[in-house]
Structure 1
Amino acid sequence: MTTDLSARASSTELTGDLRKALFTTMIRSRTFEEAILREYHADKAPGFDIGKGLIPGEMHLSAGQEPVAAGVCEHLTAADAVTSTHRPHHFAIAHGVDLKPMAAEIFGRVDGLGRGRGGHMHLFDPSTHFSCSGIVAEGYPAALGMAFAFSRRGTDAIAVAVTGEGAANAGAFHESLNLAALWKLPVVFVIEDNEWGISVSREASTPIPSNADRAAAYGIPGTRVEENDVEAVYAAAGEAVARARGGGGPTLIEVHTLRLWGHFEGDAQGYRPDLDQVPDRDPIPRYEATLRDAGVLDDAVGEQIRSAASIEVEGAIAFAKASAEPDPATVLDYVFV
């Protein structure tokens, strides 16, 4: 049975400190991505050349989707695993990946998480059990393997597998839900429904309005969270994580979120009729207004959170720029074990 969490989670269930923590995670993520956006475009001119600059190649940013990562990862520890998508920064940050080696990896430097070999779509951090991939739905099967290992070891660690709504039509998605349900693996499946699979709308690719309905086919709970609501995500994830840790098996959560910027940097988004309304749907000012109305935030606290995030992020960017580029002579290092 699918549960629709369209209403905000009751504020009486969340302390002021917890609500500030959720907001802080969202601000850290947005601040990091704004800095990456700045550095990515700084030297792509004249014209836009995707291969030029300090950060060459594609760049997929998650601005607007911060509530999903913040609400889910608030329940996790470094012992839990997270597999994310090609738009991974918000989940990496929310799950505790160190911003310095993360930034260095995005810049392709030797002090990066993958020693500059992977770039932003292939972040890998064993210390927090975080990984991501540019392959659609690739993280779902990998999460099953980690969940199976956690179960066999007798721990209460769980895996969280994240993908976009377009990937819910991929075979790996259905195969993973089937096996996880069959073996009652400690997994939480998360779908970020930002309404667009690259340039294809959800309505043009999927015959049902909610992918959470698909959970019923595998005999597991399915929940859809509307309005990009971080507190409702937190509530839904709390139930799912408790179920997984307690041996109850997997849960599927779909969050109706927002892709604030393009599919990739340089995307003109001519396919998107809602661009004029997008800034008004930004979840960060909306949540900040909620917390101010509740007396949780004021000017001083808000400035303190933003200042701390800026200092941390600019330190990470400076660390990345100071790191050396990999020596071409070492191209085969770390390939074979």
Structure 2
Amino acid sequence: MRKMLAAAVSSLLSVVIQKPANRVLVASCNYSNDATFEIKKCDLYRLEEGPPVTAVLTREDGLKYYRMMQTVRRMGLKADQLKQKFIRGFCHLCDGQEACVGLEAGLNPTDHVIASCRAHGSCCTRGLSVPSILAELTGRGGCAEGEGGSMHMYANNFYGGNGIVGAQGPLGAAYNMAAVWNLPCIFICENNRYGMGTSVERAAANTDYYKRGNFIPGLRVDGMEVLCVREATKVAADYCRSGKGPKLMELLTYHYHGHSMSHPGISYRTREEVQSLRSKSHPIMLLKDKMVNNKLASIEELKEIDVEVRKEIDAAAQFAITIPEPPLEELSCHTYSTNPPFEIHGANQWIRFKSVS
């Protein structure tokens, strides 16, 4: 399986970097190396000082964030197409929440991350390849050998997704335990305004989720601006690393698709609401406008990235729907930390079946 994924990634790279021989790209010398932006002030709870209200974006980081955010978006849209025929079970998409890429920009690779059920974007930022994610969704292989699906994807220092909404919190450390033991833990609430199909205003008398940690200090952050998320995460991480204990972050964000495959997305909200959020606070367009208006990139350069990302996603999707399905006898593998002998009663209930695929 790993060899197949490696081959797929190699083929994807060749698709991305190969260009027609008669095509010449001319790089402009007028790009700025960096630019400083004003960002929205965070709401604070039990804190005297919050993240800065300005942020520096370098050209290099801007291009990296843009490519990652487009990858997350295009992968989600492709998964939406695949779920009509190739993806079974739940499939929680996160298009609209791409600015949460800023979380990874504020962390270290050695930090441990436990994601929510809407984890595909976090999988990308944590280093999982697009072929391994889409193949996991189709159940034909992938980062968990096709046995995890949408909500159970894993990588180094990454524990992706949970079948129980909100259960990732206590898996890391429950609020009370984190406060009592002064644990270096950041609790993150990606508040996309709806709990499944119910608006937060209808479900909670207190919608200030950044205050829900009680004795844990909190931040409420503009979750549609990647720079806001990045700066707030850096501050929260430094706070925890300095031995001050846990911190709670609420990211005000939005997702354009419905809660899952069974929700069209407009049964509990209006089309006008979704379209309004798309036009006013589209996370990718907000970053794009910043970069173009401040000469960190050109429109043509960003369009080139868009083309490359689409090719990468298309090739990954083709891989995810054409690789062979795992043999039936492997369905109960990885249930135990070691492989017990088949003589143990019930250790492998599929041993009497034979794969015909």
Counterpart residue number, 1:135: 164
1:57-88 deviations in Å (ceiling 9; x for gaps): 222100001112x1111123332211111111
TM-score (norm 2): 0.75
CA contact (8 A) 2:97 2:254 kept: yes
SS in 1 for 2:149: coil
Distance change in 2, residues 1:6/1:65 (3 Å)? farther
Counterpart residue number, 1:160: none
Runs (4+) off by over 3 Å: 3-9
> Which among 268, 271, 276 is matched to residue 271 of structure 1?
268
Counterpart residue number, 1:107: 138
Higher helix share: 1
Sequence identity percentage = 26
> Which among 191, 197, 200 is matched to residue 189 of structure 2?
191
CA distance in 2 between partners of 1:288 and 1:310 (Å): 17
CA contact (8 A) 1:67 1:233 kept: yes
CA contact (8 A) 2:221 2:229 kept: yes
1:57 aligns with 2:89: yes
Q: Where do 1:163-178 residues align within 5 Å? A: 176-178=174-176
> Which shows bigger deviation, 221-230 or 28-37?
221-230
CA contact (8 A) 1:4 1:224 kept: no
Which residue type is aligned with residue 54 of structure 1? F
Counterpart residue number, 2:210: 212
SS in 1 for 2:93: coil
Q: Where do 1:90-105 residues align within 5 Å? A: 90-105=121-136
SS in 1 for 2:334: coil
CA contact (8 A) 1:9 1:231 kept: no
CA distance in 2 between partners of 1:242 and 1:6 (Å): 12
Which residue type is aligned with residue 184 of structure 1? N
Which residue type is aligned with residue 100 of structure 1? P
CA distance in 1 between partners of 2:167 and 2:197 (Å): 20
Distance change in 2, residues 1:331/1:209 (3 Å)? closer
CA contact (8 A) 1:104 1:321 kept: yes
CA contact (8 A) 1:260 1:282 kept: no
Counterpart residue number, 2:23: none
Counterpart residue number, 2:16: none
Shift of 1:203: 0.7
SS in 2 for 1:137: coil
CA contact (8 A) 2:128 2:143 kept: no
Choose 1 or 2 for highest CA Rg: 2
Unaligned runs of 5+ in 2: 1-43, 338-357
> Which among 64, 68, 78 is matched to residue 21 of structure 1?
64
1:30 aligns with 2:73: yes
Shift of 1:20: 2.6
Shift of 1:187: 1.1
1:257-283 deviations in Å (ceiling 9; x for gaps): 011111113423222132342331322
Shift of 1:6: 11
Counterpart residue number, 2:229: 233
Counterpart residue number, 2:355: none
1:247 aligns with 2:243: yes
Counterpart residue number, 1:335: 335
Distance change in 2, residues 1:104/1:260 (3 Å)? same
Shift of 1:291: 1.9
Which residue type is aligned with residue 203 of structure 1? E
Shift of 1:128: 4.0
Shift of 1:107: 0.7
CA distance in 1 between partners of 2:257 and 2:89 (Å): 17
Counterpart residue number, 1:50: none
Distance change in 2, residues 1:287/1:7 (3 Å)? farther
Residue correspondences, number: 289
Shift of 1:307: 2.7
> Which among 94, 97, 118 is matched to residue 148 of structure 2?
118
SS in 2 for 1:333: coil
Which residue type is aligned with residue 314 of structure 2? E
Which residue type is aligned with residue 85 of structure 1? S
Distance change in 2, residues 1:89/1:279 (3 Å)? same
SS in 2 for 1:186: coil
1:258 aligns with 2:231: no
Shift of 1:9: 4.5
SS in 2 for 1:120: helix
Which residue type is aligned with residue 245 of structure 1? R
Counterpart residue number, 1:71: 102
Distance change in 2, residues 1:102/1:246 (3 Å)? same
Which residue type is aligned with residue 137 of structure 2? I
Indicate the RMSD between aligned Cα atoms, in angstroms: 2.3
Distance change in 2, residues 1:119/1:310 (3 Å)? same
